[in-house]
Chains A and B, each alone.
Chain A
Amino acid sequence: MTPKAVPLDSVLTFEPGIRLKHDTVRDRYVIQGPEVLIELNETGTAIMKEIDGISELSAVIDRLAITFSVDPATITVDVSEFCTALVMKRVLTK
């Protein structure tokens, strides 16, 4: 079952009980939550740092595109899929 993609005008925020942590022992960022530990790569970390509960997803994508010096159109699908998966895991919410 493929979940419906999060619309680009949605404002995402962390679900209660979810936090982003810098794991200094292993030098990585992780998402922590109820029996949840998700290791993030550099891209995932950059996306999670932009989730602020204020910006629409399209604005998040624009900012990431500037950070990585790419055309926003080239990352829209990937960022949207990443966020959709985290909504289904109850890490992010609209």
Chain B
Amino acid sequence: MTKPIPAPQVLLAEVTHRCPLQCVYCSNPTELIKKTEEISTDTWGKVFTEAADLGVLQVSISGGEPAARRDLTSLIKAARDADLYVNLITSGIGFKRSRLEEVIEAGCEHIQLSLQDVDSGGAELISNLKKGLEKKLEFASWVRTHSVPLTINAVMHRLNLDRLPQTIEMAIEMGARRLEIANVQYHGWASFNKNILMPTQEQSDRTNQIVSEAREKYHGKLLIDYVPVDHYAEYPKSCMNGWGQVALIVAPDGYVLPCHNATMLSHLNFENVVDNSLGSIWYESEAFNAYRGDAWMPDICKSCDRKDIDFGGCRCQALALLGDASAADPVCSRAHPHNLIPREYANSLIATDTASINYRPNA
């Protein structure tokens, strides 16, 4: 018997791919959507209303840099009018203080600020933007004068992992209530810089230790979410908490995706909010049904007692490393006990020279 499809709870609204930063690990697809292809304010309003009617409870307005959209406050207001809980995911770059105040006034309930590095030079090396860190510190100081909670999202990799303790301290100084310590996911643009960013196994092990100590030390003060380096894990991550189970993503051009990177699965046909309702896309579209349940799984996953925990892992990673989107996640030690992918593979990538770093061109 197939399980009923649950209603979605989370919407990721990627309102633009435009961004003043050129981060070498940018998680957006390698082909960026241009401004002229972006859907309108009214279409976003329709998306928020339909999402709330479907059962979505919270929206994360993300990008690119959402502030690149002139109608950002209208988008936030439309999401609040639909009674969604509104998170803003931002680099903090391109905001004036008055604009931040408008965003909060419009109903933004939580701000998540990205942090490239606690070291100014390190931050510039990653984002190709001068004085980025200083601007972020200023942005955080503005947020602190409001009652809106702040999360710091610190993206970690080999070049900044040794500064993790200082990163945790900086999050506290910035007034964060939450800290996400997120290791780079090696999809999209990040795959072009794997050899520069991939942490060593020693770094990965030490990070686990530092995170668990910090959680103890700041218990009740700073909530810490942690995304480990999955290349060194024994089991795959529970990607998106299951394909088409919890979350949906609307891309800047209105295409609806089950996962942030799903456009790399080019054999799937994605549908657009301009042509179809969010409800029909969620429940009936080919793309959302492709990896629901276990019918698509290889036998080793189908018979595995972890299939309801990690849902076979990440489809994009299976395609990228094994050339087959329906294969067991290459990270899984049960499915690939003798495979060198990805632990030794990860170690083999490590290069020390950052001269070959590839910056993301702007949209």
Interface residues, chain A, CB within 8 Å of chain B? 1, 3, 15-17, 19, 21, 23, 25-26, 30, 32-35, 37, 87-90
B62 in the interface (beta carbon within 8 A): no
Interface residues, chain B, CB within 8 Å of chain A? 7, 9, 53-55, 57-58, 83, 85, 87, 109-110, 112, 147-149, 151, 177-178, 216, 219-220, 223, 225
Q: Is the CB of A37 within 8 A of B220?
A: no
Q: Is the CB of B7 within 8 A of A33?
A: no
| A-B CB contact pairs (8 Å), 12 listed | A1-B216, A16-B148, A19-B85, A19-B109, A21-B57, A25-B7, A26-B7, A32-B57, A32-B58, A37-B9, A90-B220, A90-B223
Task: Please give the distance in Å from A40's CB to the nearest CB on chain B.
Answer: 13
- Distance in angstroms between the alpha carbons of A21 and B112 in the assembled complex: 22
Q: Is the CB of A16 within 8 A of B9?
A: no
Q: Is the CB of B55 within 8 A of A3?
A: no
Task: Please give the distance in Å from B225's CB to the nearest CB on chain A.
Answer: 7
CB-CB under 8 A from B53, the residues of chain A are: 25
CB-CB under 8 A from A19, the residues of chain B are: 85, 109
Task: Please give the distance in Å from A23's CB to the nearest CB on chain B.
Answer: 6
Task: Please give the distance in Å from A57's CB to the nearest CB on chain B.
Answer: 17
CB-CB under 8 A from A30, the residues of chain B are: 57
Q: Is the CB of B85 within 8 A of A25?
A: no
Chain B residue nearest in CB terms to A4 = B220
CB-CB under 8 A from A37, the residues of chain B are: 9, 57-58
Q: Is the CB of A33 within 8 A of B57?
A: no
CB-CB under 8 A from B147, the residues of chain A are: 16-17
Chain A residue nearest in CB terms to B225 = A35
Q: Is the CB of A1 within 8 A of B55?
A: no
Q: Is the CB of A34 within 8 A of B9?
A: no
* Residue of A16, A25, A34, A37 ringed by the most chain B CB atoms within 10 A: A34
Q: Is the CB of A34 within 8 A of B149?
A: yes
- Distance in angstroms between the alpha carbons of A21 and B52 in the assembled complex: 12
Q: Is the CB of A17 within 8 A of B148?
A: yes
- Distance in angstroms between the alpha carbons of A26 and B56 in the assembled complex: 10
CB-CB under 8 A from A33, the residues of chain B are: 85, 110, 149
The 8 A-B residue pairs with the shortest CB-CB distance in the complex, in nearest-first order: A16-B147, A25-B55, A17-B149, A34-B110, A88-B220, A32-B85, A34-B149, A17-B110
Q: Is the CB of A88 within 8 A of B58?
A: no
Task: Please give the distance in Å from B52's CB to the nearest CB on chain A.
Answer: 9
- Distance in angstroms between the alpha carbons of A86 and B55 in the assembled complex: 24
Q: Is the CB of B151 within 8 A of A34?
A: yes
CB-CB under 8 A from A3, the residues of chain B are: 219-220
CB-CB under 8 A from B58, the residues of chain A are: 32, 37
12 more contacts with CB within 8 A, not counting A34-B177, A35-B178, are A1-B219, A16-B149, A17-B177, A23-B57, A25-B53, A32-B57, A33-B149, A34-B109, A34-B110, A37-B9, A90-B149, A90-B223
